[in-house]
Structure 1
Amino acid sequence: MFTAFTPRSASAYQRINVETSMHTMDQHQLVSLLLDGLLQAVATARGALARGDVQTKCGSITKALRILEEGLMTALDREAGGEVAANLEAVYDYALRRLIQANARNDDTMLQEVSRLIEPIVQAWKEMKNNSHEASQIAQLVPAEA
């Protein structure tokens, strides 16, 4: 009748949940998830490097690279974003190069550098969402002019 719980089946449900969520969330939430995932992947790589777990380190750095290349860099609107998008693209490109070097050299300092570069972006992104939410709440309180 019922089969025993397996990590594989749990993984399938988690993947379906993530895919379903991606269709219902706004772009701001998606970028926020990508940024958080990037920091998490770098942190996992750092832990694996400290333990000497080469396979996990390489997998985590690969995940971070994919988030940067396939997620964050492709999400940039270079036309509408102007100078901000250009600056973010430069930071992301630099982070890509540092991750590749960190992987090749097993250099934790480079991984720390990437985290320190991305953390202010994550904070600014979250503050921007909070500020826009507060602005929309205030706008609802102000009566429309007739």
Structure 2
Amino acid sequence: MEPLTEQRPVVRPAVYGFLRPGRASAARRTALRQALAVYCSTRELELVDVFTEHDNDQGSEGAFARLLNALAAGAYGVVLPTPAHLGPRAHATVRRTQVTGTGARILALRDHDHPRPSRVGPVPAPRQCELLPVLPVFGSRSQEGSW
């Protein structure tokens, strides 16, 4: 008898993480890596490696160049905390084209085009709801009974 589908091993799509933390503390860099790992785990993706670009990375040995080489080998995509981790706008546009040129997808934990609602500021007024009249329920009491 064959095992149930849920008991068969499943190959998860391989993804690579990419971070450009700038001057973030070690604790922040660790938190970003953990966020990528949790994101991948909850979406059944296999986080193969995380490439971290530092301000002094340049040339063919840079983290982004290594990411492109890994993606070209047939990975499903790259996972970013936000699209801003691709770099400044001019660089991000070129990098986005380079990543998608490998056939990989770009997955962002949080998209700048759809930001989360702000937790600060005034609380919006509750919406007014139309109250509906209460209707009697027939059959639960005698028809002559009072409500």
Q: TM-score by structure 2 length? A: 0.25
More helix by share: 1
Larger Cα-atom Rg: 2
More strand by share: 2
